[in-house]
Amino acid sequence: MLRPCPGAPRRNTLAAIALAAAIAVPLSVVPLAHAALTSSDQPAPYTPTRAHLALEAAAASRAQDRAEQVAAERAAAEAARVAAEAQAAAEAQAAALAAERAAAAERAARAARDADPRATARQLLAQRGQGDQFGCLDRLWQKESGWRWNADNPTSSAYGIPQALPGRKMASAGADWATNPTTQIRWGLQYIADVYGGPCAAWRHSQARNWY
């Protein structure tokens, strides 16, 4: 049996105490050190400079201006489209109205051509207070044109029921002088009244000179 060394127990006790002191580090020291390390590694918060803020404001202003410009251009294009459609509709309506008026005028002219021009002449002559001279007028214009509104003298430019020379003289009584018997009769009666005073005087001149 070995004898224990007299100093061994004391040395063992001191070593155990030293080891325990080294291991027993306060727990509060570890988080503080970790926190210090972590905070030092993080970047500082970004603070924009005045120049950067000015650039951002200018960019935002340009974007707003562009948006407003695009909106204005779209509004102008829409207004132009609406105006063009309205103008086209108005032009179409005016064209339709003009066509209807032209058709009505053509119908009236056709009706006048189909009617007996003698009846019209008798009525218009009576309005002049010379209804008793219709016989003279009838013989005069029967000789001149046969009462045909489109009678065209092949040897001259005389035209129409009264054989106006040239025919375009009758335009003073109406733009439809070439096709409307009533227009021709109105012009012929006025011509007779101005030159001869009445149909009977014009008929006598025609008998004597073969023209009036």
Split at pLDDT 50, 70, 90, the class of 30 is very low
User: How far is the C-alpha of 188 from the C-alpha of 138, rounded, in Å?
Assistant: 12
Q: Give me the mean pLDDT over the 42-63 stretch.
A: 84
81 shares its domain with 131: no
> What is the extent of the structural domain holding 191?
117-209
Domain count, the chain: 2
Q: 10 pLDDT exceeds 80? A: no
Q: Could you tell me if 146 and 174 lie in one domain?
A: yes
In this prediction, residue 28 has a pLDDT band, given cuts at 50, 70 and 90, of very low
> Among residues 143, 120, 123, 139, which one has the least CA distance to residue 131?
123
Same domain for 172 and 101: no
Tell me, yes or no, whether 8 lies in a domain: no
Residue 24 pLDDT level (bands cut at 50, 70, 90): low
pLDDT, tens digit, 9 for 90 and up, residues 119-174? 999 999 999 999 999 999 999 999 999 999 999 998 999 999 999 999 999 999 99
Q: Does residue 59 sit in the same domain as residue 86?
A: yes
Residue-level pLDDT at 110: 76
Same domain for 98 and 122: no
Supply the mean pLDDT for the chain.
85
Q: Both 99 and 177 in a single domain?
A: no
87 and 137 share a domain?
no
What number is the average pLDDT over the span 184-212? 98
C-alpha distances (whole Å) from 168 to each of 108, 151, 187, 195 are: 21, 13, 11, 18
Closest of 113, 135, 110, 111 to residue 122, by C-alpha: 135
Domain boundary among 71, 91, 114: 114
Same domain, 61 and 104: yes
Tell me which long-range contacts 81-84 makes (C-beta under 8 A, separation of at least 24): none
